[in-house]
A and B are shown apart, each in its own frame.
Chain A
């Protein structure tokens, strides 16, 4: 009857099954490959490509002096969220300091939910690479930035558009591979 067509059909089914199986295998491999990344649970920021939130925050070193988001426009800046309570910030601090010393871009500190004395002591102990440090004691303004911990690092361009965000400690590979190329791009575009 249909003797010749039956094996051919089952072979097609076998091929489809093999493709699906290999697909799942590839997906699993991809998952395993990405499971050792430190930022595997980092949320992509919906702020990328959008204006940075408006804020008015006091300086850590001079509580009476308020800095607004508008005052920071004009050239790009890197905003680094940290706190003296955050162990991971201590890990990234030397890396960030080295980058800040290249004077490639303004590096602004964002001291999150910290006691001013603790924050100042921390900077004294580990060094202060920041051009200025904003103090957000109650973490209210941080919600507008979509900040949910420290360290987090943003790149904001001259017009105040958020270009990049990294959740977790930055290392040299991230700075050289992501941040610096973006800065090159921003400078080329101006």
Chain B
């Protein structure tokens, strides 16, 4: 039982070490995490942030040079004891609301947040009206001498 737990822990450690090693190839000084908790927090945070260069990737996934630089900056800010919110605010102040996958709810993003619900509501009303109109119509009497 104990052996199994250790094997599992070792396996998880190796699995986590993977990406860090892979990054070292292209980067002369890879990111140094002090422990697994820090790495997990770093990964969660950078997955929530959008890469500014290649806008369909997260900061965690992107291989662009600016993404490398910003990841380093994020880790530095973590080492300075900044909270996740402070780090996100730091990046939003410089690169704009765009860096967040979950933009703040404010007048300029209302359409973004509530637009889909509005469309769904509109579609629902149309469907409801059509269904009601059809149900009111009388069912035509079956034609007896129908030939197929």
Interface residues of A (CB under 8 A from B): 6, 10, 13, 17, 20, 41, 43-47, 113, 139-140, 142-146, 148-149
Q: Taking the complex as formed, is B78 at the interface, i.e. its CB lies under 8 A from any CB of chain A? A: no
- A143 contacts which chain B residues (CB < 8 A)? 69-70, 73, 94
**Residues from chain A with Cβ under 8 Å of B65 in the complex:** 113
Within 91-135 of B, Cβ neighbours of A (below 8 Å) are at 92-98, 122, 126, 129, 133
Q: List 24 A-B contacts (CB under 8 A).
A: A6-B133, A13-B126, A13-B129, A20-B122, A41-B55, A43-B98, A44-B96, A45-B96, A46-B92, A46-B96, A46-B97, A47-B94, A113-B65, A139-B66, A142-B69, A144-B94, A146-B94, A146-B96, A148-B52, A148-B53, A148-B66, A148-B95, A149-B53, A149-B66
Of all chain A residues, the one with the shortest Cβ separation from B98 is A43
Q: Which residues of B contact A20 (CB under 8 A)?
A: 122
Contacts A146-B94, A146-B95, A148-B95 supplied; 9 other A-B pairs, CB < 8 Å? A6-B133, A13-B129, A17-B126, A45-B96, A46-B94, A113-B65, A140-B69, A149-B53, A149-B66
Most buried by A among B65, B66, B94, B98: B94
The answer to whether B94 touches A145 (Cβ under 8 A) is yes
Closest to B137 in A: A6
Q: A148-B52, A149-B53 are in contact. Are A43 and B69 (CB under 8 A)?
A: no
Question: Closest residue to B70 on the A side, CB-wise?
Answer: A143
How far is B89's CA from A46's CA once the two chains are assembled, in angstroms?
12
Of all chain A residues, the one with the shortest Cβ separation from B68 is A139
Min distance, Cβ B58 to any Cβ of chain A, angstroms? 15
**What is the chain A residue whose CB lies nearest that of B96?**
A46
**How many pairs of residues, A versus B, come closer than 8 Å at their CB atoms?**
42
In angstroms, how far is the closest chain B Cβ from the Cβ of A127?
A: 26
Q: Which of B55-102 contact A (CB under 8 A)?
A: 55, 65-66, 69-70, 73, 92-98
Cβ contact within 8 Å between A43 and B129:
no
Interface positions of B from 22 to 74, Cβ below 8 Å from A: 52-53, 55, 65-66, 69-70, 73
In the assembled complex, the Cα of A142 lies from the Cα of B122 at a distance in Å of: 46
Docked CA distance A6–B130 (Å): 12
What is the distance, in angstroms, from B123's C-beta to the closest C-beta of chain A? 10
A47 to B95, CA, bound (A): 8
Residue on A nearest B122 in the bound complex, by CB: A20
Bound Cα distance A136, B92 (Å): 22
Docked complex Cα distance between A113 and B133 (Å): 67
| Most central of B70, B73, B95, B96 by chain A CB within 10 Å | B95
Q: Whole-angstrom distance from the CB of B75 to the nearest CB of chain A?
A: 13
Which residues on B sit within 8 Å (CB–CB) of A113?
A: 65
Question: How far apart sit A144 and B52, CA to CA, in the bound complex (Å)?
Answer: 14
**Is B94 within 8 A of A43, CB to CB?**
no
Least CB distance from B100 to A in Å reads 12
- Measured between beta carbons, the chain B residues less than 8 angstroms from A46 are 92-97
Please give the distance in Å from A146's CB to the nearest CB on chain B: 4
Distance in angstroms from A5 CB to nearest chain B CB is 12
Chain A residues closer than 8 Å to B73, beta-carbon distance: 140, 143
Inter-subunit contact B66/A43 (CB<8 Å): no
A180, B108: Cα distance in complex, Å: 29
